[in-house]
Chain A
Amino acid sequence: MKAAPVDYVRPRSLTEAIDLLARTPGEARVIAGGQSLVAMMNLRLASPGLLIDIARLPELVAVSEDTDALILGACVTHAAIEDGKVADASRGLMPRVAASLAYRAIRTRGTIGGSLALSDPAAEWPAVLTALGAEVVICGPAGRRSLKCLEFTTGIFETRLASDEIIEGVRIPKLSANARWGYLKFCRKSGEFANSLAVAVADLGRGHSRVVLGAANGPPLVLDDTSRLVLEGGRGELRGAVASDVDRAADRCFDEYQHALHTVAATRAVQQVLQ
């Protein structure tokens, strides 16, 4: 199928993009890599009246850092992360994740900010950035604000991004030298969306440990007991902790198969950390 007629504009700055968005409420959609939006337009699941193309805005492809965090512009592509063309704060986790995300021809155009803005429940970045304790930097008519990734995604394709706001970037805490991570993605074919996605990050130097499930029938699911077990150095029964965390998420309505898959994924991701 073909996309419905649409207007298109490519602003020269983020300020101009935000002005445009404010002037066309309900009509405009922001487009970055377009790897989900154009597919949705082609299938006529989306038919915006105006596309505001932010993919090449210099502010949004910029990368900067301060003493304890790396800030990736929203329009940094998955391929740039995979190839190490941008700095990495995650000691290899983010390049590894990027390489497992969709196909190369998608990764060259798809962006980290676009992935967060859409918040597909099976997408990699919302879960991984939640596990890393990252923050989303958001720009709107009222100025700039930050939200923890943990709070940003609220449901299936639902976020706290207001309709007049644009994601500017992601602030990713730098992992300490002895931090460890585990990552496991279950899917039937390389590059597909995950059936289960587990990320474990243990940065004991910073007192941070978080185990998160993606593709979990909702926003990224933080496994509290398991995270605590990792922080305490893995004492206690791992599989039991994971199973009780997954059990407790009754609102996710996992069937037997999903329950088993998520439990195995999270257990294996944590085992990679504890090895």
Chain B
Amino acid sequence: MTAIRLRINGAAVAEEVPPRSSLADFLRERRNLTGTHLGCEHGVCGACTVFIDGEPARSCLMLAVACDERDVETIEGFAGDAVIDTLRRNFHRHHALQCGFCTPGMLITARDLILRGQAGSERQIRDGLSGNICRCTGYTNIVTAIAEAAKETSDAR
């Protein structure tokens, strides 16, 4: 076991973790943050995407021990975040989720796309979402919701 100290959704956390544990397993099983979903566990599906030090990352490809002294934000940590609020509203309005398994990863990836100004066109959004798989194949509504959210966000600025 290795001792780590990190911030999760703004709160300081100190824990002992086995080095083989992924950040995703640590979040879900030790911190009870089950909004981070695990699909493929090898970096392809995008369901487990979280923010690490402000950048999106796969929590299945990040060892929890390597997150020592880092700042992790999961889907549970965005209460009051204007971009996530706008995305949630548009995902609801445009029916951008069916089973909901991919949704946390979609929201986190979409937030990053909007904040980096990479959600200006359908092509850009589809490119940016290529690392997030929706096995219900509901991409059309997801792309529409993100495009609307990006427009609302830029109008509000």
Which residues of A pack against B, CB within 8 Å?
A: 1-8, 10, 31, 34-35, 38-39, 41-43, 51, 53, 55, 79, 102-106, 108-109, 189-191
Contact B42 A105 (CB under 8 A): no
Contact B42 A39 (CB under 8 A): yes
B contact face: mostly helix, strand, loop, or mixed: mixed
Contact of B19 among A6, A35, A104, A191 (CB under 8 A): A6
Interface centre among B46, B52, B112, B127 (most CB of A within 10 A): B127
User: How many residues of chain B have a CB within 8 Å of chain A?
Assistant: 32
Contact B58 A106 (CB under 8 A): yes
Residues of A within 8 A of B35 (CB): none
Contact A2 B42 (CB under 8 A): no
B112 to chain A, nearest CB (A): 7
Contact A191 B130 (CB under 8 A): yes
Which residues of B pack against A, CB within 8 Å?
A: 2, 18-20, 22, 25, 41-43, 46, 49, 52, 55-58, 60-63, 65-66, 68, 109, 112-113, 126-128, 130-132
Residues of B within 8 A of A34 (CB): 61-63, 66
Q: Please measure, in the bound complex, the distance between the C-alpha atom of A36 and the C-alpha atom of B2, giving whole angstroms.
A: 23
Residues of B within 8 A of A43 (CB): 42
Q: Please measure, in the bound complex, the distance between the C-alpha atom of A215 and the C-alpha atom of B58, giving whole angstroms.
A: 25
Contact of B18 among A5, A38, A189 (CB under 8 A): A5
Take A103-B46, A105-B49 as given contacts and tell me if A39 and B25 are in contact as well, using a CB distance cutoff of 8 Å. no
Take A34-B61, A55-B66, A191-B131 as given contacts and tell me if A2 and B20 are in contact as well, using a CB distance cutoff of 8 Å. yes
Contact A108 B56 (CB under 8 A): yes
Q: Please measure, in the bound complex, the distance between the C-alpha atom of A35 and the C-alpha atom of B42, giving whole angstroms.
A: 9
Contact A2 B19 (CB under 8 A): no
Contact A3 B112 (CB under 8 A): no
Residues of A within 8 A of B20 (CB): 2-6, 41
